[in-house]
């Protein structure tokens, strides 16, 4: 026991000896690592594109099954110009994103207060937690059929489905954030004369923001995949529907275009969220 | 007149006992503590680590309730945290989402002091802790010593009756520590503050305190009190020569012997 502790102490001291220098080294190391990581990512995609090109060039599979990169590109330009099924691409994307963002908005507005409250009060947690824990592991498409029966095939059922998908990660992040708050923040605020309400808004909420943001990013990811699956089961428009419709007519080039669009927009959304995160919780990591 | 002022008891601790945990797993942290803090004094608490120093401070701050005994401030029971008792933590609990300015203004703002007055208070104390010009910086842009000065300014801005500090300089390097000690002494003098400071550094206690309380190992009891005056001498002379005097070594050795007797046993 004792020797263990001693070892820890010694390590700690060595680490602390030259904090500036080691910090510099770390950041330099990190830059180097970032560079190699970026190169690896780019290389991976070059290889994927290359293999794709070669496979289609050699016509190893029929072109209806595996369209060539060039065909996909022209299909993309075609859809960009004329839309799909007479509906412009931006409308497909627009309907999808409208569903996504309405659901997310509701989820953010409800999950944050409920989550923070659950973190505060064990009684509230006992009520909400059990419901969330029950539906969270269910495959969304299982209860989606019920939602369609109740709310019809239109937007409402989809928005509710996405709302449920997005609610859980945000709620869970809030509960965990409250439980992780540094108690000294709250004690010092009390010692400085803050009342309960001010402590909530000035201390608890901001202290939880970094984790809330992580929760929202997870929620966007989950909701986005759910959205696409939902549109593939029942819809008349949207980017997911486009892919489903194309598959009915064996238009593999459109399927690939749809998948690529989904992938890129997903990355873009996360990029935007990360940008917001950097601006709003710029102090993340300094808690 | 001034003498009478100095006699006023601000904090009165009677027969204090504190037990952590439940019956089966309980720890007796403090046992039979009687202690008074008088207005204007600089009380330093020394003791082996784990003896209950922080626990004592938390009780005075109102963060935890005594198991037995009383803890009063100006004749009233301490029931919870209160801005009349400002606390400086060992690791500064500054709020990283607020600028330095907002951190320092936090207390007065919470108490609904008029805007204009808050500004004056902030300017005054930012100057007192030598941090003018850092108002719009964020806490993570400051060094450890600067952070602790902000924490001090934040507490001072409320004009508390007592300032409680739990090893505030423990994490700082020697040079910063030395400068911070001088700053704390000057602030104490200039503001006529009443300070309770916990430390494990005997020299720090001797060069800052007007009274030093040495605690026993757990369960913490008060072993002995020392009335000293080195801090005033240092302040008046503007030098720390007194730290090389015969008298200083005598007291220091006595305290060291006392503390060592607690560790060796
Ligand atoms: N929340 C707690 N629960 C149980 N035991 C505690 C708690 N806080 C402190 N203690 C115990 O009480 C004793 C005194 O602790 P503390 O006041 O922090 O000592 P010091 O500040 O003098 O190092 C220690 O033995 C510590 O392990
Ligand atoms: Mg302690």
CATH code (residue B202): 3.40.50.300
Same domain, A18 and A87: no
- How much is the pLDDT for A26? 62
What's the pLDDT at A3? 42
Where are the alpha helices (H) located in A65-199, listed in sequence order?
Answer: 69-82, 89-120, 122-135, 140-151, 155-180, 183-191, 196-198
User: What pLDDT, on a 0 to 100 scale, did the predictor assign at position B6?
Assistant: 52
Contact of A254 with A84, CB cutoff 8 Å: yes
Kindly state whether B86 is in contact with chain A, defined as any CB-CB distance less than 8 angstroms: yes
Q: Determine contact, residues A221/A213, Cβ cutoff 8 Å.
A: no
Q: How many CB atoms lie within 10 A of CB A233?
A: 17
Quick one: pLDDT at residue A236? 79
CA dist A208 and A204 (Å) reads 6
What ligand is nearest to the CA atom of residue B29? 1
- Asked if ipTM goes beyond 0.95, one says no
Whole-angstrom Cα distance, residue A155 to residue A95?
Answer: 9
Q: Which pTM value belongs to this model? A: 0.83
| Residue B116 within a domain | no
User: Which atom, in ligand 1's list, is nearest to the CA of B48?
Assistant: 22
Q: Please give the Cα distance from B105 to B102 (Å, whole number).
A: 5
C-beta of B54 in contact with ligand 1 (< 6 A): yes
**Residue bearing the CA closest to ligand 1, atom 25:** B50
Does the residue A103 lie in any domain?
yes
In this prediction, residue B29 carries a pLDDT of 92
Question: B13 CA to middle of ligand 1, Å?
Answer: 19
Q: Among B16, B22, B23, B27, which residue has the most ligand 1 atoms within 8 Å of its CB, making it the best to mutate?
A: B27
CA pair distance B96, B140, nearest whole angstrom: 7
Closest in A191, A198, A206 to B81, CB measured:
A191
* φ, ψ at B227 (rounded to 5°): -95, 120
Q: In angstroms, what separates the C-alpha of A138 from chain B's closest C-alpha?
A: 38
> Do A34 and A77 sit in the same domain of this protein?
no
pLDDT in the model for residue A24: 53
Please check whether residues A111 and A242 belong to one and the same domain. Answer: yes
Q: Given CA atoms B36, B80, B18, B46 in this order, what sign does their dihedral have?
A: negative
pLDDT value, residue A84: 87
- Cα distances (Å, whole numbers) of residue A193 to B64, B97, B100: 17, 19, 18
Sequence-separated (6 or more) residues with CB below 8 Å from residue A189: A198, A199, A202, A203, B106, B110
Helix axes A239-248 and A252-280, enclosed angle (nearest 10): 160
Query: Is residue A18 one of the residues assigned to a domain?
Result: yes
Nearest neighbour of B89 by CB, restricted to A188, A190, A193: A188
The answer to whether residues A113 and A250 belong to one domain is: yes
Instruction: Specify the pLDDT at position A1.
Output: 39
Low-confidence ranges of chain A (pLDDT < 50): 1-22
Size of interface A-B (CB pairs under 8 A): 63
Question: Which of B61, B63, B110 is nearest residue A194 as measured by Cβ atoms?
Answer: B110
pLDDT of residue A202: 94
* Cα–ligand 1 centroid distance for B26 (angstroms): 11
Q: Supply the pLDDT for residue A25.
A: 61
For chain A, list residues whose CB is within 8 angstroms of any CB belonging to chain B: 182, 184-185, 187-195, 198, 202-203, 206-207, 209, 281, 283, 286-287
For residue B244, the model assigns a pLDDT of: 86
Residue A256 lies in a domain: yes
Q: Does residue B18 belong to any structural domain of this protein?
A: yes
Closest CA to B107 of B128, B132, B86: B86
**Phi then psi dihedrals of residue B55, to 5 deg:** -60, -45
Structure tokens at A125: 């947690």
Query: Which residue's CA is minimally distant from atom 2 of ligand 1?
Result: B20
Q: Is B96 on the interface with A (CB under 8 A)?
A: yes
Domain that holds residue B48: 4-84+160-264
Specify if B112 maps to a domain: no
* End-to-end CA separation in angstroms for chain A: 31
Number of domains forming the structure of chain A? 2
Q: Which of B94, B95, B103, B153 to mutate to test the interface with A (most CBs of A within 10 A)?
A: B95
Which structure tokens are listed for A68?
């060539």
Mean per-residue pLDDT pooled into runs of 10, chain B (265 residues) = 65 94 88 94 93 95 94 94 94 93 96 95 94 94 93 95 94 89 94 94 94 92 93 89 89 93 76
Structural domain boundaries, residue A81: 69-280
Q: Which residue of A has its CA nearest to B157?
A: A192
Q: What is the pLDDT of residue A9?
A: 41
- Check: CB of residue A174 under 8 Å from CB of residue A124: no
User: Phi and psi of A58, rounded to 5°?
Assistant: -80, -5
Do A184 and B93 lie within an 8 Å CB cutoff?
Answer: yes
Q: Is the CB–ligand 1 distance for residue B58 below 6 Å?
A: no
Phi-psi region of A285 (alpha: psi -120 to 50; beta: other; left: phi over 0): left
Burial state string for A270-285 with b = 16 or more CB within 10 A and e = fewer than 16: eeebeeebeeebebbe
B74 located within any domain: yes
Q: How far is CA B103 from the centre of its chain?
A: 19
The answer to the question of residue B96 being in a domain is no
**Domain count across chain B:** 1
Q: Which helix (H) or strand (E) holds B153?
A: helix B144-156
């Amino acid at each position: 026991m004792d020797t263990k502790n001693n070892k820890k102490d010694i390590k700690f001291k060595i680490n602390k000896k030259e904090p500036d220098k080691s910090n510099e080294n770390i950041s330099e190391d990190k830059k180097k690592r970032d560079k190699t990581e970026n190169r690896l990512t780019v290389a991976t995609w070059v290889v994927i594109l290359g293999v794709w090109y070669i496979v289609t060039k050699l016509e190893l599979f029929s072109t209806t099954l595996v369209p060539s990169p060039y065909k996909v590109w022209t299909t993309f330009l075609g859809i960009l110009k004329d839309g799909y099924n007479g509906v412009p691409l931006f409308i497909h994307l627009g309907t999808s994103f409208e569903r996504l963002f309405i659901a997310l908005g509701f989820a953010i507005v409800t999950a944050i207060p409920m989550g923070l409250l659950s973190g505060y009060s064990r009684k509230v947690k006992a009520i909400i937690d059990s419901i969330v824990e029950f539906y969270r592991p269910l495959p969304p498409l299982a209860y989606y059929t019920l939602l369609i029966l109740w709310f019809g095939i239109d937007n409402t059922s989809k928005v509710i489905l996405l709302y449920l998908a997005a609610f859980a990660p945000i709620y869970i992040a809030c509960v965990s954030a409250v439980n992780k708050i540094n108690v000294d923040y709250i004690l010092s605020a009390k010692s400085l004369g803050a009342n309960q309400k001010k402590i909530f808004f000035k201390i608890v909420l901001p202290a939880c923001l970094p984790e809330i943001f992580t929760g929202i990013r997870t929620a966007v990811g989950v909701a986005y995949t759910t959205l696409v699956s939902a549109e593939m089961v029942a819809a008349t428009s949207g980017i997911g529907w486009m892919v489903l419709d194309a598959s009915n007519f064996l238009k593999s080039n459109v399927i690939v275009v749809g998948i690529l669009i989904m992938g890129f927009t997903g990355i873009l959304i996360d990029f935007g969220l990360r940008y917001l995160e950097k601006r709003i919780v710029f102090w993340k990591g300094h808690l | 007149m001034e003498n009478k002022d100095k006699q006023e008891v601000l904090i009165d601790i009677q027969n204090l006992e504190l037990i952590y945990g439940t019956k089966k797993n309980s720890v007796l942290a403090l046992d039979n503590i009687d202690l008074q803090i008088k207005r204007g004094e600089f009380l330093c608490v020394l003791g082996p680590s784990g003896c209950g120093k922080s626990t004592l401070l938390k009780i005075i701050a109102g963060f935890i309730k005594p198991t037995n005994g009383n803890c009063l401030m100006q004749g009233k029971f301490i029931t919870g945290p209160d801005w009349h008792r400002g606390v400086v933590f060992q690791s500064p609990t500054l709020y990283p989402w607020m600028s330095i300015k907002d951190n320092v203004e936090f207390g007065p703002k919470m108490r609904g002091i008029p805007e204009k007055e808050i500004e004056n208070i902030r300017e005054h104390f930012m100057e007192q802790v030598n941090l003018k010009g850092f108002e719009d910086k964020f806490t993570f842009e400051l060094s450890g010593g600067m952070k602790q000065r902000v924490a001090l300014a934040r507490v001072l801005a409320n004009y508390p009756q007592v300032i409680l500090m739990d090893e505030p300089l423990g994490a700082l390097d020697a040079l910063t520590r030395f400068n911070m000690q001088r700053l704390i002494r000057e602030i104490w003098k200039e503001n006529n503050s009443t300070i309770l400071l916990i430390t494990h550094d005997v020299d720090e206690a001797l060069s800052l305190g007007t009274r030093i309380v040495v605690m026993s190992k757990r369960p913490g009891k008060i072993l002995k009190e020392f009335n000293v005056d080195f801090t005033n001498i240092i302040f008046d002379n503007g030098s720390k020569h007194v730290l090389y005097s015969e008298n200083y070594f005598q007291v220091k050795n006595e305290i060291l012997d006392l503390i060592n007797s607690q560790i060796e046993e």
